Amino acid sequence: MKRFLLPLLFCTLLPFHAAADDAFLAGTTNGLYRITGTNSRLIWPAREVRKILNDGSRWIILSLEGLHTSNDLKTFTPISDGLPVKVIKVPDNGSKQFVREIQELKDIELHPTNPAVMVTATKDAVFLTRDGGTSWESLGLSAQTAGVKAVCVLDLPDSTGAMRTVVFMSHPIYGISWKYADTPRGAWTDLNNGLYQVPTIRWPDEVADMVAVLRDGKPQVIVSNTFKPNIFRLDWENKRFETFWTGSTPLDTLDGLSPGTHSLVFTSPSRIRELPLGQSVETAAPREVPDWYPQLAKLPGVLLSARIPAKLSGNRGALSLSELWLLSPNRQQAPHTAEARGKAGNYLPVHQVTTPQGLAKHIETLKKNKLNMLVVDMKDDYGYIRYDAKDPLVRELGTFGRGINLEEFVKTAKDNGIYLVARIVVFKDRGLALHDDGKYAVWDKKENKPWQGYRMVKEQKEVASTTEPQDPSYIRQYYDEHWVDPYSEDVWEYNVALSRELLARGFDEIQFDYIRFPTDGLNLTDAQFRWQDQGMDKESALMSFLSYARSRIEAPISIDIYGANGWYRTGARTGQDVELLARYVDVICPMFYPSHFEQQFLAHEPAVDRPYRIFFHGSYRNAIIARNHIIVRPWVQAFYLNVSYDRTYYNQDYVQRQVFGARDALNQGYTYWNNSGRYEDLRPDIDTSMAYPWEPPAENAGNLIPFFSEDPGAFR
């Protein structure tokens, strides 16, 4: 591997204004704080202050409320005009209000020599300003699939040697792309040579952050990985990345890159670290920088960002630190994670526990395997209510099937120390879709009836042997799914009423499934959402529902998501954007079933370790994508599927390898899924001290179990 020297100058070449850049600031989930000595004071209440920059004359602050500037740290002026807005519907006793909020911005970066030029991004597009934020221009996205993690802007030479402004973005699936700012409608160009790739995956792994620096007086770009200990520098002339530093751990997150005068400072789990930039550092050990821990650790809320003035930086120059939530792996932001942590159990089809004998059998299975949780359908995939509901709204709108006597069921479970989770299928609901002539249904605008997705299949006909061959004819085959309108506040109210009753009558947690729009059917374009209010889109609908539910449910809320949406930072196809949904829930349950991924996914040798790899890497990735807001409790595959990998490897070891992977990454809990309620392939639950009953996997974290946990002696 080529080694190189990287002397560095701080990238913002502007006159230093002591009055503007002399403050020690920190951003938390509560707002912006000014730190003086050992004391701190809230100077601006805002939701999640994620980044604090200074361009030499003013402060630029990124929060969940968009972008703001301040000249005096007293008045904060928005500079988000022209950036996308989300419309959130807020129902209230039969009426409704609408709240407009800036769509979540993923990053903000200044041009290193022209602070009037800045770049930011939503998950759907990159935006550039040339006038300090007065106006913003969309540069589009490098892929049709939504997703952006980081952006960067600086001047670099083109093929003729002329300096031109170049914008970079990192996509969570497709890697880094760039385009010239003076051709905003031009195509993005991929630039991924030299970046790290996960074995068996075609595209480079996600890039967490990108920063512009100066090397020998020339502009340069440094990038880091989100899930691996890698830092790269860009060789612009040859359009490839070279390794600057790589670590030895199987997982790590290097984010919030901040170039100082002689070092690169960055955030990682439990620690702020730095690498020297004036020497070869490919194999150097990063040094911890604990200088500001005492002041930062005392702040209320979860720490997210900080701006360290030059006078307090230890001769590093002014530093902008971000993604500081990484310093507290054991501290989730959601309100009910303490109750939900450490739960492991089984999903049960409700018809198997409608009798005392059936419930006793499954409780015995839990005890045998040292499990403490049951997940039970209370509103199933067809919309059937599976308990003796008493709530008036539930009785009015619900369709009832065979279920349980709730008080008896809850008492037996509680007598055995079992944590109860009520699974509620939300937007896939045949009963409610057909209620009152389809009042709440997703509507088929072409056929004027409740919409149902279909595919075309060959019609099966009996043909006499003497008949001439004919071209096949095709008929519709409808999916066994009926959907209600996710924009409907009446649908939200019904599901929340159901949830509140179940909690009042003894359940501990509500688990929402099918929190998404329909995705299957040749007639998807015929689906009409009649409850959609002006300005709302699919993301707005999910945000509105979960915000409504969160405000009315004082207990843990969990949601189920596809495995791919837990692996990648994108809500592709389903709208299940983990980074977004994590704001409203306490637990996310990704379905990392090995059988459901492409069969070569992580199946490199030794292929037997594939279930471990998927859960080890997947659980960690899900937690990081969610910014540690929530508990990650993955679904574990306890069933055989007739696919190539399962045909070769499925057995009890296959099942248990998944559990070891979840333990080694996070150790926050898991749930076995077997649709038929057959749990013959389980082994007793494990703790962090249990050794592997097979050859240790190459990716295992060694003594760091779980890997994403607070390191004693680090940030406090």
User: In terms of domains, do 235 and 168 share one?
Assistant: yes
Query: Taking CA 666 as the corner, what is the angle to CA 664 and CA 672, rounded to the nearest 5 degrees?
Result: 85
51 within some domain? yes
596 within some domain? yes
First CA to last CA across the chain, in angstroms? 37
Phi, psi of 157, deg, nearest 5: -75, 140
Q: Which of 11, 37, 10 is nearest to 24 (CA)?
A: 37
Three-class secondary structure of residue 435 per DSSP: helix
Domain that holds residue 283: 8-327
User: In terms of domains, do 413 and 493 share one?
Assistant: yes
User: In terms of domains, do 275 and 424 share one?
Assistant: no
Q: Which residues of the chain have pLDDT under 70?
A: 1-20, 215, 278-283, 461-470, 701, 713
Residue 171 burial (10 A CB sphere; 0-12, 13-18, 19+): buried
Per-residue pLDDT, 472: 78
User: In terms of domains, do 316 and 359 share one?
Assistant: no
Residue 33: how many other CB atoms lie within 10 Å? 25
Q: Give the residue from 635, 653, 673 where a domain finishes.
A: 673
457 within some domain? no
694 within some domain? no
Per-residue pLDDT, 11: 36
Q: The domain that contains 305 carries what CATH number?
A: 2.130.10.10
User: In terms of domains, do 322 and 361 share one?
Assistant: no
Query: Taking CA 487 as the corner, what is the angle to CA 559 and CA 570, rounded to the nearest 5 degrees?
Result: 45
User: In terms of domains, do 385 and 526 share one?
Assistant: yes
User: In terms of domains, do 279 and 201 share one?
Assistant: yes
714 within some domain? no
Per-residue pLDDT, 275: 94
Q: Are 634 and 665 in contact (CB under 8 A)?
A: no
Q: Give the residue from 259, 294, 327 where a domain finishes.
A: 327
Q: The domain that contains 436 carries what CATH number?
A: 3.20.20.80
- The residue type found at 659 is V
User: In terms of domains, do 309 and 386 share one?
Assistant: no
Please give the Cα distance from 557 to 422 (Å, whole number).
Answer: 10
User: In terms of domains, do 59 and 109 share one?
Assistant: yes
Give strand ranges (E) for 419-526.
Answer: 419-425, 443-444, 449-450, 454-458, 474-478, 509-513
131 within some domain? yes
Query: Taking CA 488 as the corner, what is the angle to CA 485 and CA 492, rounded to the nearest 5 degrees?
Result: 105
62 within some domain? yes
The structural domain count of the chain equals 2
Burial 207-230 (b: 16+ CB within 10 A, else e): bbbbbbbbbeeebbbbbbbbbbbb
Per-residue pLDDT, 8: 32
Please give the Cα distance from 498 to 392 (Å, whole number).
Answer: 10
> What percentage of the chain reaches a pLDDT higher than 90?
87
Per-residue pLDDT, 10: 33
Q: Find tokens 């008045």 and name the residue.
A: 75
User: In terms of domains, do 310 and 375 share one?
Assistant: no
474 within some domain? no
**How distant, in Å, are the alpha carbons of 43, 265, 319, 659 from that of 28?**
12, 19, 17, 34
Per-residue pLDDT, 19: 39
Could you tell me whether strands 77-78 and 66-70 are parallel, antiparallel, or unpaired per DSSP bridges?
A: antiparallel
Please give the Cα distance from 406 to 129 (Å, whole number).
Answer: 58
Per-residue pLDDT, 282: 67
Please give the Cα distance from 25 to 63 (Å, whole number).
Answer: 14
Per-residue pLDDT, 380: 95
Per-residue pLDDT, 1: 34
User: In terms of domains, do 271 and 178 share one?
Assistant: yes
Per-residue pLDDT, 714: 78
Q: What is the DSSP string of 615-641?
A: HHHHHHHHHHHTTT-SEE-PEEE-S--
User: In terms of domains, do 261 and 361 share one?
Assistant: no
